[in-house]
Amino acid sequence: MKLAHLALLAGFALVASCSIFPKTEPSDVYRLPSAQRDTSAQHGTAQRWSLRLAKPQTSEALNNPKIAVIPQGDLISSYKASRWSDPAPVLLRNRLLDGFQRDGRVPLLSTDDSNFQADLELGGNLQAFQTEYQGTAASVVVRLDALLVRGYDQRILASRRFEVRQPLSDVKVPAVVTGFGLASDQLTAQVVAWTVEQGQKVAPPLRP
């Protein structure tokens, strides 16, 4: 009986030492870079309405830290041993927040990580945040269906699709990451300008 007990313990030790789970490969973690260009504040009147930035909705394929790529047709894949520091919707929301802060015309900003109320909310649907191949040519594609809604009742006040395609001359991961930064900065500049323009039209009047 004692020998059987020892044999059983030895068997458990052998199983424990030989894990059935595959070893995970180490990943390079990338943040979304900013393009090296002038991003100083725009000249214009500071708006008195407040804006809340929400993470855009997206598909399961993009709602994770993988760096997505469509190598051909409708096949969605990701770069091996590389990932983002956050899921794509968080990366884009944070880039937009930084864009508004640099622009300076909407100083009253918050995000959906807080419970602060705001006059307007910017959200929408992230339709693309990936590299796409057409033959041997590759481009970073960022596509956002933006929605500007009223804060207190979530009524949609304005909507617009934004899309940027950034061609890539180098398809190694560091160069691809740089391409995502360039594309995101272009899209951010467009979204900021549009939001300020729409906000001036639809923001609720200030109470005396």
Is pLDDT above 90 for 40?
A: no
79 belongs to a structural domain? yes
Distance CA 47, CA 23 (A): 53
| 90-106: average pLDDT | 97
Could you tell me the residue range of the domain that residue 85 belongs to? 25-35+46-202
9 belongs to a structural domain? no
Lowest mean pLDDT segment, chosen from 1-15, 33-47, 127-141: 1-15
20 belongs to a structural domain? no
What is the reported pLDDT for 132? 98
| 158-168: average pLDDT | 98
Is pLDDT above 70 for 73?
A: yes
What is the reported pLDDT for 3? 46
CATH code at 96? 3.40.50.10610
What is the reported pLDDT for 6? 43
Is pLDDT above 60 for 51?
A: yes
105 belongs to a structural domain? yes
- Name residue, tokens 């020892």: 6
For the chain, how many structural domains are there in total? Answer: 1
13 belongs to a structural domain? no
189 belongs to a structural domain? yes
What is the reported pLDDT for 16? 44
Residue 201's pLDDT band (boundaries 50, 70, 90)? very high
What is the reported pLDDT for 148? 98
